[in-house]
Amino acid sequence: MAFELPKLPYAYDALEPNIDARTMEIHYTKHHAGYTNNLNNAIKGTDLEGKSIEDILTNLDMSNAAVRNNGGGFYNHSLYWEVMNPEGKGRLSGPLKDAIESTYGTVDTFKDAFAKAAATRFGSGWAWLCVHKGGKVEICSTPNQDNPLMPDVSCGGTPILGIDVWEHAYYLNYQNRRPDYINAFFNVINWNEVERRYDAAK
């Protein structure tokens, strides 16, 4: 079966003023839709057809640029929409908070480190919070549409929180002020979903 663009879990304007409706609409209907279509074209008629996106990415031939870029783009954006919420669902708590404090000392120190990873990613890419088997968490960043599931990426583990720092994610509203966009992202994190992903992955 071909991959389908997942349904956006809220309206385009639901994250305002943190992320504006026009950016959301373009990001979802043009960029994410484009990655989805191009991924389907790249795997059509190959042995990758019918496999899950996680299986494709964890066993990826990194020289296959079409699958690497579009498979990453499909997966990354699917996670990105899910870990945001207009209602600010949940507060960071429980085992995930404990894991973050075990690694980073305090939640504020974690936020500073995550923001730095996103702000200092040169060019286009993503910053991630990942979980390793056993529950240890790690912050890292990747270029372009790479993600921690892929082989030969600088950080491993399962991504449970990700922020898109490609300019198309923020430029209409924030122009070159990437740090302002990153700070706004913290206002819309769906911690319930991040915690669900942590529990499933650890």
As a whole number of angstroms, the distance between CA 111 and CA 53 comes to: 29
* Residue in 162, 158, 182 with CA at minimum distance from that of residue 170: 182
As a whole number of angstroms, the distance between CA 70 and CA 48 comes to: 13
Answer yes or no: are the C-beta atoms of 83 and 162 closer than 8 Å.
Answer: yes
Answer yes or no: is 180 a known binding residue.
Answer: no
Answer yes or no: is 32 a known binding residue.
Answer: no
Q: Which residue shows structure tokens 């496999």?
A: 51
Alpha-carbon torsion (88, 128, 116, 68), positive or negative: negative
Rounded to 5 degrees, what are φ and ψ at 142? Answer: -135, 150
Answer yes or no: is 31 a known binding residue.
Answer: no
List the structure tokens of 7.
Answer: 């349904």
What residues are designated binding site?
27, 77, 164, 168
What residues are designated binding site for Mn(2+)?
27, 77, 164, 168
